[in-house]
A and B are shown apart, each in its own frame.
Chain A
Amino acid sequence: MSDHAPEQRVLSLMAVLLDTGIPLTLEQVQERMEGAYGPPFDPDDPDPRHKQAFEAGRRMFLRDKDTLADMGVQVRYTRDDEHDVDGYWLRPEDVRMPDVRLAPAETRLLRDAARMVADVDGFPLAHDLELALAKLDAAMAGMDLSGPDDEDLAISFLYQHQRVVRGPDADRTLATLAEAVVTRRRIRLTYRGAAQPQATVRDVDPYALFLRRGVWYVVAWCGLRQAVRLFDVHRVQAAALIGVPGAFAAPADFDLADWRDREPWELAIHDPIQVQLRLDRAVAGMARSRFPRALHLTTAPDGALTLAVSVTHRDALIGFVMSLWGRARILAPDDLVTRFHDRVRAVVAAHAPQEAP
């Protein structure tokens, strides 16, 4: 083979392994690949350069096999009893997408969904999404997922999530984190948390990655803290893949929504306290959008709601209630009411009329 461009070499390897009816030994692969994986091993050849060339070729073969595994193509190493040989091979079904049984409404849903996230800033799987749609197009030949907008599209909407916070080398960091989540590889993070003077280096197992209100976050088991932690991606100074794929599994009960839907007053700052909150009718919609896990206690004739809310960061709740100008009130516990009043007085005092210069 005259040109050993990596893509051509890997595709040729696929073709060789598909073309054979029986498993091929490494030697046979080397032969059929015409030197792309170095010379076959010859135990009688005393020249150390030949041994080195063999080793380099063998390593390249193993790397290409890993690349194929990354593409979802598993090269098998099996024994063929009939021919009494151990070897590598690919079955045609290993390289073919199974039959796609999506109904037209389902393909439209996929297409709309893809269009919806296409503009999400920093979405680290944008290329994967494109490739997936192109593969589905080819698999369904004629059902064009990129087709024109449908007149009877179920609903008209726009989706624009801008990343408002960017860290150093943001796109590369996100791509690394996404790859680690998808392939379940451990990563080494250099991370400086809010108000921490120094960055620390820690090895983490990333369970999930999400964008919320302009910030990308990663949820990971942190080897340094020995606990599951939430990291702001923009505070990651460096991220490197260090483990092998499939190195960890998130606990079976891990649910991304538990982390993604957390409000500031649900951050784990102190032990949970139960708070009773009153929301006027005008802000009752926030009972659903901001307090979906609250216990609804009463609805007054004027439409006001009373809720019981579990709070682990009381100052964040104080800020939220204050910002609604009296349309929300903390009813209990008493010490939180007192704390709220103290805070209101402090804010009023901080905004007292300034003396003329």
Chain B
Amino acid sequence: MSASQARRQRLTRLQLVLATLHAHGDRMRLDDLAAACRMSPAEVLAAVDTLQMVHGNDTGYAYVDIDIDEDGWVDLGPNLDQGLGRRPLPLTPGEVAALSAAVRALAEGPAANLAAEATAVLDKVVSLAAPPVRETLQRINARIAVGAAVGLADPVWHDMVDAVRDHRELEIEYLTASRDDLTHRTVQPWTLVGREGYWYLRAFCLARGDERLFRLDRIVSAQPTGRTFPPPPPPGPDPSPRHERITDQQRPDVRIRFDASAADWVRERHPDRPTTTAPDGSIEVSLPWRSQTFLAGWVLSFGGRAVVVAPESLRREIRDRLAAAFPDALAAPESASDGKAH
């Protein structure tokens, strides 16, 4: 945060202490006041000290009649005739942008059915800014974004949102990335998880007897079984299913060589992993892993810019599966372009 942002926010909080007290009948418990202002009690105490020093004219009298009594109540005297703290300040552009980013993330994700409502809310939020900045806000209020829309408007996924809400059990057809296998499972859909730009269904899988994450765009179909289930346990802070948190310490890391064009990408994402850079700029890195098939698919997504150095079992999986998947490629004659990028 820049110094000017920090100063602006301190000032806003000072005024907020007054507006919040005023809104609650000029008298609040210190702890309640602090919570309402998103401040610590110590910050509120410091704010009260500063507010007591505010002067509104040259008579030398305190302008803000604010005090804390021995029992921890904060009192505001009725001495704010010109309204310094009569109401909260208008929203700033940053505050509107923050609310806007939040509402959009919601409306583009699990609450896609609320998109129209979200637009109405955002219009109202803009109207809470000071008149001179409102016009500008119309132009910037969609300019900071987190996450991305991932097609939750799709009918299959829309049904899933309903199933989560109504605790309805589902029979799903799912493409398991870790085995590249199309499976049928009966699941109790618990919650939707947005993670790194993808949406997942976190559900209890009856076949596994454990919770699992299912990426929504790998769910091929979903049908209600007609059964319901009791409300799931509340989500913890870590959305990963239990089995994902267990790492096999015994398994040796995989070693992958990336060509020079991907070297920065590797260094940026794995700054703590040991790497070796070759004279041609290619880089070799050791990475932990869980599923060999998933890892093989990931290596392939580099389109040839990544090559597994070890273990041999992963190298074999890549060449065998590729050969099986694209027999026409291996049968085709060599092209004149020798496959290098143009």
Q: Give the contacting residue for B319; candidates A102, A164, A181, A351; CB below 8 A.
A: A351
**Chain A interface size, under 10 / 10 to 19 / 20 to 34 / 35 or more:** 35 or more
How far, in Å, is B44 (CB) from chain A's closest CB? 12
B150 on interface, CB distance cutoff 8 Å: yes
Residues from chain B with Cβ under 8 Å of A342 in the complex: 334-335, 337-339
Nearest chain-A residue to B102 (Cβ)?
A: A113
Instruction: Decide: A96 near B86, CB < 8 A? Known: A11-B54, A322-B322.
Output: yes
Which of B19, B193, B315 counts the most A-chain CB atoms under 10 A from its CB? B19
- Which B residues are in CB contact (< 8 Å) with A178? 94, 97, 144
Distance (whole angstroms) from the CB of B119 to the closest CB of chain A: 11
CB-based contact B106/A109 at 8 Å: yes
* A183 → B minimal CB distance (Å): 7
Hey, which chain B residues are within 8 Å of A137, CB to CB? 20, 23, 36
Given A131-B38, A338-B337, A141 contacting B23 (CB threshold 8 A): yes
What residues of A have a CB within 8 angstroms of the CB of B13 in the complex? 131
Distance in angstroms from B181 CB to nearest chain A CB is: 9
In angstroms, how far is the closest chain B Cβ from the Cβ of A218? 10
Cross-chain contact B140 with A182 (CB below 8 angstroms): yes
Number of A-B contacts (CB under 8 A): 454
Question: Is A72 an interface residue when CB atoms closer than 8 A count as contact?
Answer: yes
> Are the CB atoms of B297 and A323 closer together than 8 Å?
yes
Nearest-Cβ distance from residue B282 to partner chain A, whole angstroms: 12
A197–B147 CA distance with the chains assembled, in angstroms: 31
B4 touches A341 (CB 8 A): no
- Kindly report which residue of chain B lies nearest to residue A127, judged by CB atoms: B9
> Is the beta-carbon distance between B146 and A195 smaller than 8 angstroms?
no
Q: Which residues of A contact B106 (CB under 8 A)?
A: 109, 112-113, 116
Using CB atoms, name the residue of chain B closest to A95.
Answer: B89
Q: In the complex, A19→B86 CA distance in Å? A: 13
B164 CB contacts on chain A under 8 angstroms: 155-157
B9 contacts across to A, CB distance below 8 A: 127-128, 131
A138 to B36 CA separation, bound complex (whole angstroms): 8
Asked if A112 and B143 make an inter-chain contact with CB atoms under 8 angstroms apart, the answer reads no
12 A/B residue pairs, CB under 8 Å, sorted by A: A11-B54, A19-B63, A96-B83, A106-B120, A131-B9, A134-B20, A135-B89, A137-B20, A156-B165, A157-B191, A164-B269, A347-B318
Interface residue ranges, A against B (CB under 8 Å)? 1, 3, 5-8, 10-12, 14-16, 18-19, 31-34, 67, 70-74, 92, 94-98, 100-102, 105-106, 109-110, 112-114, 116-117, 120, 123-139, 141-142, 144, 146, 154-162, 164-166, 172, 175-176, 178-179, 181-184, 194-195, 207-214, 234-235, 241, 246, 249-250, 256-257, 260-261, 281-286, 288-290, 292, 315-316, 318-320, 322-327, 338-348, 350-354
